[in-house]
Chain A
Amino acid sequence: MEPEPKSPKQAIEEVKAGLRAPQRTQLWKSIFRVKHTRNDTRTRALAVVSNVFLHLHPGRVNRDAVRYSYTWGMGGISAYLFLVLLFTGALLMFYYHPTKVQAYRDILYLEQDVPFGRLLRNMHRWGAHLMVITVWLHMLRVVLTGAYKKPREFNWCVGVALLVLTLLLSFTGYLLPDDQLGFWAVTVGTNMARATPLVGHEGPFGPQLGMTPFNDLRFGLLGGSVVDSNALLRAYVWHCIGIPLVVLLLMGVHFWRVRKDGGISGPAPLVLDGEMKDEVR
C-alpha cells in the first residue's frame, strides 16, 4: 500500500523537531560524530577527545592543573598569538610584493588606503613582539617549576628550538617593510655572519679556507654581498613559508610530547629533602 502523503502540518512539525533538537538531525551527527544528547561526564569527555581541534586536550585534567598561578598560561598564549600572526600575516600577503620597487609602497598603501590596513600591520607587528615576550616568560615558568625534568628533557629542547625560530621569524619580518629601520637592522645582524668561524670571510680560519664576500655564509643568507632585492625575497620566503612550516611541525611535536609525558607537569605534590634517595647513578 502506498504511504499517505504528508500533510503540511506534519512537514512543519518535522522541521520544528529538527530546530528544537538539532543534535538529532542527520546533518549534525555527520559533522560531530559523537552523540551529544546527554549532559553527562562521558559525553563531555567525548566532545573534547573526538574533536580534531580539541583532541590535544585530555578528557579530564587534574583539578590543580587549571590553576592560573601554576602555568601563567604563557605557552597557550604563545600558540594563540602564533595563530593570530598566521591570520594577519596571510591577510598582509594579499597586499605585499617582496620587490625593491613595490615593498615600501605597499606598506604606505596599507597604511593610507587599505581599509583597516594600518590596524592589520600594527596587530602583526605588536603580536610578533608580544609573542617573543610570552615565549620568554613561558621558558621562565618552566625553569621555575622544574618542568623540564625527566621525562620532559627532549620536549624542553624542542621548546628551545621553537624559541629560536620565534626570534628568527620576527627578525626576517623586520626587513620586509624595506625601510631604513629594517635595512640597517638586518645589515647589522647579518654582518655578524661575515665573522663566522670557518665559513665567514672575516672569521677565524675563514680566509684560509678560501672564503670571500661572494661565497661565504652571509652571501648565502642574503643572496648577495649586500642587503638588496635578493635579500628581500629570501627574507620573505623564509618568513612566510620556510620558518612557519618548521614551527608548525615542531609545535605539533611539542604539544604531542606534553600529552605523552603526562600532561601539564603540575602542580605536583611536594617532595621533601628526606625523600630523595642518595643513589649515585
Chain B
Amino acid sequence: MDFSQIWEILSAADNVPIVGLLAGVGFFVWYGLRQGREMDRLAVRLAAEPELAKTHHRKTQPYEEGWEREVQVWPHLLKIEFLAAMIVTVLLLVWSLALNAPLEEPANPNQTMNPAKAPWYFVGLQELLVYFDPWFAGVVLPLLILAGLMLFPYLDASPLGTGYYTIRQRKVVLVSFGAGFSIWLAAIFVGTFIRGPGWMWFWPGETWDHTRVVFEKTRNLPEMLGIHGAAGEALVGLVTVVLFYASAGWAIHKLVTRTELDRRIYARTTSLQYLTFQFFAITLLVGVPVKILLRLAFRIKYVWITPWFNL
C-alpha cells in the first residue's frame, strides 16, 4: 500500500475540486431524496384521506394562522441572496488562501507529460477513449449527451412531480438521469484517481510505475466468433448491434411499464417521444456501460468493424 502515492493524487491541486464535487453531489442527492421520501409519505396519506386532501398542502406548505401567502422580496429574499454571496465569497477566499493554483514548467512540446490528462470535468471523456475510438468518445458521444439533455423535458410526458421532490411518481426519470450522471462521475473518478502513466489502470495505493508495460492483447468480436473478411466482419457487427438494441429496448420497456402509474404515464407518451427516449436510453445508459464492461472483462476492442469506422 503506497500511501504517499494516494496522497500525491488526492492533494494535486486540480484534483481537490473533484473531492468537493463528489462530497457535494453525495450530500445534495441525500438532501433531495430525503425531501422526496417525505412527499411520498404525504401522498400516501392524502390518497387515503380525501377530506384532508381538499385543504392540506394545497397552496402554501406548512402554514400558520395569520401568515400571508406571499412575502416581500425586499428584505426576505434579498437578504438570503446577500448572505449566500457573502458565504460563497468567504469560502472562495479561504480556499484561495489555503491552496495555490497549479503551475507546472513552461509548455514544452518536446516533453510529453505522462499521464497527460484533460481538465477534470473532461477527464470522463478521455477515459471513454479507452473503450471507443476518438470520433465516438470525443465527438459523437458528447453531442449525443447534449442532445439527450436538451430533449429531456420533451420526452418526460408525466405532469406529476412538477415543482416538488418526489421519488415514487418519477422513478423512470430519476433512474435515467441518475444512471447518466453516475456514469459521467464514475468516468471522472476512474480517469483521475485510477489512471496512471500510459493511461494504465493503477488501483488506489498502487505505485505509479513509469516503466510498466502491459502485454494485454485486445480482441474483436467477429474474430472471436471466427469470422474474417471485411464483409463478414461488418455484417456480424451490424447483426450484433441490432440484436443488442432490440434486447436492451425490450428490457427497458419492461422496466418502464412495471407499475400501474408507470403504465399510465407510458400511455400519455407519444410514439415519437417514446422511441427517442428508447434510443438515448439504449445508446447512452446501457450501450456505453456494456461496451466498457466488454473491454474491461473480456478485452473486446471492437464489436462492429467496417472499412469506414469501428465501434
> Which listed residue, B104, B109, B268, touches A280 by the CB 8 Å rule?
B268
Separation of A194 and B88 alpha carbons in the complex (Å)? 40
Min distance, Cβ A88 to any Cβ of chain B, angstroms: 10
A108 to B125, CA, bound (A): 31
Bound Cα distance A229, B133 (Å):
29
Assembled-state Cα–Cα distance A243/B48 (Å): 53
| Bound CA–CA A144/B31 (angstroms) | 11
Total interface residues in chain B, CB < 8 Å: 109
* Number of A interface residues in the complex (CB < 8 A): 105
In Å, the complex CA distance between A104 and B102 comes to 13
Q: Which residue of B lies closest to A164 (CB)?
A: B146
Do A181 and B74 touch across chains, with their CB atoms under 8 A apart? no
> Does chain B have a CB within 8 A of A118?
yes
Q: Which of B42, B72, B92, B267 contacts A270 (CB 8 A)?
A: B42
Using A76-B84, A133-B21, A153-B153 as known contacts, say yes or no to A62 and B100 having CB atoms under 8 A apart: no
* Residue contact B107 to A160, C-beta cutoff 8 Å: no
Given A69-B31, A188-B118, CB of A272 within 8 Å of CB of B107: no
In this complex, what residue of A is CB-closest to B67? A63
Residues of B within 8 A of A44 (CB): 72-75
Docked Cα-Cα span, A271 to B160, in Å, equals: 6
Q: A119-B96, A122-B96, A144-B36 are in contact. Are A273 and B47 (CB under 8 A)?
A: yes
| Smallest CB separation, B268 vs chain A (Å) | 6
Q: Are B159 and A179 in contact, CB atoms less than 8 angstroms apart?
A: no
Check B138–A193 contact: CB distance below 8 A: yes
Residue of B whose beta carbon sits closest to that of A179: B104
Q: Is the CB of A141 closer than 8 A to any CB of chain B?
A: yes
CB distance from B137 to the nearest CB of A (A): 7
A272 and B47 contact, CB distance less than 8 A: yes
Given the interface contacts A60-B72, A195-B135, does A81 sit within 8 Å of B60 by beta carbon?
Answer: no
Q: How far is the CA of A179 from the CA of B24 in the complex (A)?
A: 30
Q: Which residues of B contact A80 (CB under 8 A)?
A: 84-85, 88
A141 to B18, alpha carbons, bound, how many Å?
A: 19
Report the separation of the CA atoms of residues A64 and B93 in the bound assembly, to the nearest whole angstrom. 31
- Across the interface, which residues of A come within 8 angstroms of B154, CB to CB? 153
The answer to whether B135 touches A167, judged by C-beta atoms less than 8 angstroms apart, is: no
Residues of A within 8 A of B160 (CB): 146, 271, 273, 276
Question: B97: CB under 8 A from chain A?
Answer: yes
Contact between chains at A121 and B101 (CB < 8 Å): yes
Q: In the complex, which residue of chain B has the Cβ closest to the Cβ of A41?
A: B72
A63 pairs with B77, CB closer than 8 A: no
CB of A203 within 8 A of CB of B135, answer yes
A121: chain B residues within 8 A (beta carbon): 101
In the complex, are the beta carbons of B81 and A76 less than 8 A apart? yes
Main secondary structure of the interface of B (DSSP, over half): helix
Q: CB of B152 within 8 A of chain A?
A: yes
Q: Is the CB of B95 within 8 A of A180?
A: no
Task: Indicate whether B111 reaches chain A with its CB closer than 8 angstroms.
Answer: yes
Contacts A66-B77, A141-B28, A149-B153 given; does A270 touch B111 at CB 8 Å: no
Across-interface contacts of A179 in B (CB, < 8 A): 103-107
- B74 and A48 contacting across the interface, CB-CB below 8 Å: yes
Note all chain A residues with C-beta closer than 8 A to B28.
72, 137, 140-141
A3 in contact (CB, < 8 A)? no
A143 beta carbon closer than 8 Å to chain B: yes
- The answer for the CA separation of A69 and B139 in the assembled complex, in Å, is 37
Cβ-based interface call for B275 (8 A): no
Interface of A is mostly: helix
- Chain A residues 30 to 72 lying within 8 A of chain B, measured CB to CB, are 41, 44-45, 47-48, 54, 57-66, 68-69, 72
Is B299 close to A, CB under 8 A?
A: no
Q: Chain B residues near A127 (CB, 8 Å)?
A: 92
Select A64's contact among B33, B61, B161, beta carbons within 8 Å: B61
A97 within 8 A of B: no
Given the complex of chains A and B, what is the CA–CA distance between A144 and B72 in angstroms?
Answer: 27
A139 CB to closest chain B CB (Å) equals 8
State the 7 A-B residue pairs at the shortest beta-carbon distance, nearest first: A192-B138, A268-B163, A266-B163, A195-B134, A183-B107, A122-B96, A184-B116
A-B contact sample (13 more), CB < 8 A, given A61-B70, A156-B153, A179-B106: A44-B72, A47-B74, A48-B78, A63-B67, A84-B92, A140-B29, A160-B150, A178-B107, A179-B104, A189-B118, A189-B122, A270-B166, A273-B169
Instruction: Give B residues with C-beta under 8 Å from A.
Output: 14, 17, 20-21, 24-25, 28-29, 31-33, 35-36, 39, 42-43, 46-47, 53, 57-61, 67-78, 80-81, 84-85, 88-89, 91-93, 95-97, 99-109, 111-113, 116-122, 125-126, 129, 133-135, 137-140, 146, 149-150, 152-154, 156-166, 169-170, 173-174, 177, 181, 261, 264, 267-268, 270, 308-309
Q: Which residues of A contact B (CB under 8 A)?
A: 41, 44-45, 47-48, 54, 57-66, 68-69, 72-73, 76-77, 80-81, 84, 104, 107-108, 111, 118-119, 121-127, 129-130, 132-133, 136-137, 140-141, 143-150, 152-153, 156-157, 160, 164, 167, 170-171, 174, 177-185, 187-189, 191-197, 200, 202-205, 226-227, 265-274, 276, 278-281
Show 26 A/B contacts (Cβ-Cβ < 8 Å), sorted by A: A60-B70, A63-B69, A66-B76, A76-B84, A119-B97, A126-B92, A130-B20, A137-B25, A140-B28, A143-B173, A143-B177, A144-B36, A147-B162, A148-B153, A150-B153, A153-B154, A170-B119, A179-B103, A179-B104, A203-B139, A265-B163, A266-B164, A271-B162, A272-B47, A272-B53, A278-B268
